Amino acid sequence: MKLIILGSGTCVPSLKRNAPGYLIEVEDLKILVDCGSGTLLQLQKAGRSYRDIEVVFITHCHPYHISDLMPLIHALIATPEYKRKKPLRIVGSSLVGEYLDGCIMELLKRPDSFRIDFSRIEGKMEFHPLTLYSAKTLHSEDSFAFRFEYNGHSIVFTGDADYSEAIIELSTGADLLVADCSYPYELKRKGHLTPTECGIVASKAGVKHLILSHLYPTNYSDKEILEECKREFNGRISVAEDLMEISLI
């Protein structure tokens, strides 16, 4: 199972960090977790193809987490000499379903050659060979954290989240925890985690490797973010970078 970070940033434009998007590759399955602005280009930069994506999981409907979903579907419909056959699955809150039907499909119309299937997020779901567990987060009405399991290995994405017991529970014993690390402690805003809080979550959950992502551009350096987190968690910590690849097995 491999994770490729396509975007470690936020809604604020940055040449260093694209808006949120993550690719997971496991056996023949390729999935996206969030599909923020620029995700399609980041996939190209990572040497991957938008054509291979089978499932897109959306953590919540803030525009910069979902805004490349329409271009993805458009590209799948409109690429010359390419006819997609396999269905595209989209998984998220009911709001994601409403956006898909009420906006994307209104503008693009349903494709002829492949199905687009929407599934509303539930506590436990199977996407062979992955199993997905989810938990509601403290952020927006429709925000979720995801845990993907494969053959005894696990990756957790907090999505956008403030500190809660639910994230700790979902992250328990995870191999990788990709955490919302929006602002350093001094700039803390409700609805997001700080490096300190990410460290506490990782420590309480006993995760093996903590990846600090969803980083807003501030005057704080990556080193300072890392140092802040290290005070709370003595396991392995990485500050996410775009196109970083992490192999679990």
- Site of interaction with Zn ion (CB under 5 A): 62, 160
Cα–Cα distance between 128 and 132 in angstroms, integer? 10
Q: How far is the CB of 180 from Zn ion (least distance, A)?
A: 7
Select 30 or 62, whichever has its Cβ closest to Zn ion.
62
Q: How far is the CB of 120 from Zn ion (least distance, A)?
A: 19
Measured in whole angstroms, the distance separating CA 15 from the mean position of its chain's CA atoms is 19
Which amino acid, one-letter code, is at 54?
A: E
Which amino acid, one-letter code, is at 117?
A: D
Select 160 or 197, whichever has its Cβ closest to Zn ion.
160
Cα–Cα distance between 184 and 186 in angstroms, integer? 6
Cα–Cα distance between 218 and 233 in angstroms, integer? 22
Select 30 or 192, whichever has its Cβ closest to Zn ion.
192
User: Would you state the structure tokens that stand for residue 58, as one six-digit string?
Assistant: 């959306």
Q: How far is the CB of 214 from Zn ion (least distance, A)?
A: 6
Select 175 or 180, whichever has its Cβ closest to Zn ion.
180
Select 62 or 147, whichever has its Cβ closest to Zn ion.
62
Q: How many CB atoms lie within 10 A of CB 14?
A: 16
Q: How far is the CB of 153 from Zn ion (least distance, A)?
A: 26
Q: How many CB atoms lie within 10 A of CB 152?
A: 8
Q: How far is the CB of 126 from Zn ion (least distance, A)?
A: 27
Which amino acid, one-letter code, is at 80?
A: P
